[in-house]
Amino acid sequence: MFFEYADTGSWTSSTYISNENDFKNIKFRQRVARDMSNRSLDVNILGQKINMPLALSPIGICGLQYPNGEILAAKAAEKKGIPFTLSTMSICSIEDVAENTSKPFWFQLYMMKDRSFMDKLIKRAKDANCSALMVTLDLQVMGQRHNDIRNNLEAPPKINLNTIQQFISKPKWCLDMLKAKRLNFGNIMGHVNNVTNLSSLASWTADQFDPTLTWNDIGWIRDRWQGKLILKGIMDKDDAKLAVNAGANAIIVSNHGGRQLDGAPSTISVLSEISEEVKNKIEVHFDGGIRSGQDVLKALSLGAKCTYVGRPYVYGLGAKGQEGVELALDIIYKELDLSMAMCGETDVSKVGIHNLNGNPFKK
């Protein structure tokens, strides 16, 4: 159930598949006889120097992929010198991650109907010294995810014949989970009035995503958060302009990994158009379909300043915990470094459309 939570999209998964496949249409411009020594992948993102233009996306229930998963992913990101983003719907809480790491991380916020809880959640992110707040805009209503429905996905999982069969097939996972710090939504449980057990938590969560969210609510958040603000879920250049007007410091071109509007275009196919519209006014970040360092390079060439990975690090986390996340990041780093060199670049901040053999998405 947890692998399928990460590995599939909504409805037919056509957008999820397009996110990956559309990268194949992009071809590099190979250059030769250039000095490829002294290469650097260092960049400054939102005023923070990081070791490569990559961050870990916010992923829900990582703590059920692997015991204390969010803490381990944050530690891996810290060790590799890149940002980690903690999801509102994480198993380990903001405080859990802050207590087990030594550098600031980013916090992702879902806008919910309970504004009192939102107020407290933003304050908790401040108290934990989170260096950026990421507001996800594309989950006002939940996309239908067939595998999650079939698996009765919950945190912690329901006990029925289906889940028992899955548990029996993964005895090591079961034993390891007995050592986990938490098994439910750590940012919510114990922090919401009248949510005292798993039943009340489930009913509260199901009713909380706010379909009335508008750009005016970004102002409400801005009044409470004076730090760096990232808006995630931008797929249209007009929405990108509205994000600039709302006072965001960065946008993320994202379709929620193909887990919301099935039939939407891939993120890579709309990146250059959005970047050209607003890149001199705001940082343009990119999420969706990245599976390699070459994909990172392609997104940077089409206008992204920073990229994000979700599934690649979750696969590593589920397989080997912190070590698996570090291995995934090492693979991406090496692929990005070597591919950049073969395109004739030594400084990743200078990568651009000139490193591609044209833009297949140019209208």
Q: Is residue 362 domain-resident?
A: no
**By mean pLDDT, which of 85-89, 196-200, 246-250, 304-308 is the weakest?**
196-200
pLDDT bin (cut points 50, 70, 90) of residue 82 is very high
Q: Determine the structural domain holding residue 141 and report its residue range.
A: 2-355
320 occurs within a structural domain = yes
Q: What mean pLDDT comes out for the span 171-177?
A: 92
Indicate whether 361 belongs to any domain.
no
- CA–CA separation, 30 vs 292, rounded Å? 18
Q: Three-class SS of residue 356?
A: strand
Q: How many domains does the chain have?
A: 1
Query: Does the pLDDT value for residue 304 go beyond 80?
Result: yes
Tell me what the mean pLDDT of segment 58-86 comes to.
97
Whole-number pLDDT of residue 298: 98
The predicted model gives 70-87 an average pLDDT of 98
Work out the pLDDT band at 141, boundaries 50, 70, 90. Answer: confident
Is 146 an active-site residue? no
The full length of the chain comes to 363
Q: Is residue 363 part of a domain?
A: no
3-state secondary structure of 45: strand
What is the mean pLDDT of the segment spanning 51-79? 97
Strands 250-253 and 54-56: unpaired
pLDDT, tens digit, 9 for 90 and up, residues 208-259:
888 899 999 999 999 999 999 999 999 999 999 999 999 999 999 999 999 9
Task: Name which of 14-18, 82-86, 210-214, 241-245 the model is least confident about.
Answer: 210-214
Residue 195 has pLDDT above 80, yes or no: no
E strand spans, the chain: 43-45, 48-50, 54-56, 85-86, 106-110, 132-136, 228-234, 250-253, 283-287, 306-309
- Taking the whole predicted model, whether its pTM rises above 0.85 is answered as yes
Residue 360 in domain: no
Q: What is the largest CA-CA distance in the chain?
A: 67
Identify the pLDDT of residue 216: 94
CB 193: neighbour CB atoms within 10 A? 9
Taking residue 261's Cβ as centre, other Cβ atoms within 10 Å add up to 17
Ordered DSSP codes for 52-64: SSEEEPP-TTHHH
CA angle 210, 216, 218 (to 5 degrees): 75
User: Which range (175-184, 240-249, 296-305) has the least confidence?
Assistant: 175-184
> Which of 42-51, 62-71, 159-168 bottoms out in mean pLDDT, i.e. has the lowest?
159-168
The pLDDT assigned to 48 comes to 96
Average pLDDT taken over every residue of the chain: 94
Among 99-103, 108-112, 206-210, 314-318, the least confident range = 206-210
Specify the CATH number for the domain of residue 342.
Answer: 3.20.20.70
267 pLDDT above the threshold of 80:
yes
For the ranges 127-136, 147-156, 242-251, which has the lowest average pLDDT?
Answer: 147-156
Q: Are residues 194 and 202 in contact, defined by beta-carbon separation less than 8 angstroms?
A: no
Active-site pick, 191, 256, 285, 354:
256
Mean pLDDT for 5-27 is 95
Q: Which of 72-86, 151-165, 223-237, 318-332 has the lowest mean pLDDT?
A: 151-165
Neighbours of 298 (CB within 10 A): 28
The share of the chain scoring above pLDDT 70, in percent, equals 98
Lowest-pLDDT choice from 57-61, 80-84, 116-120, 202-206: 202-206
* 343-362: average pLDDT: 97
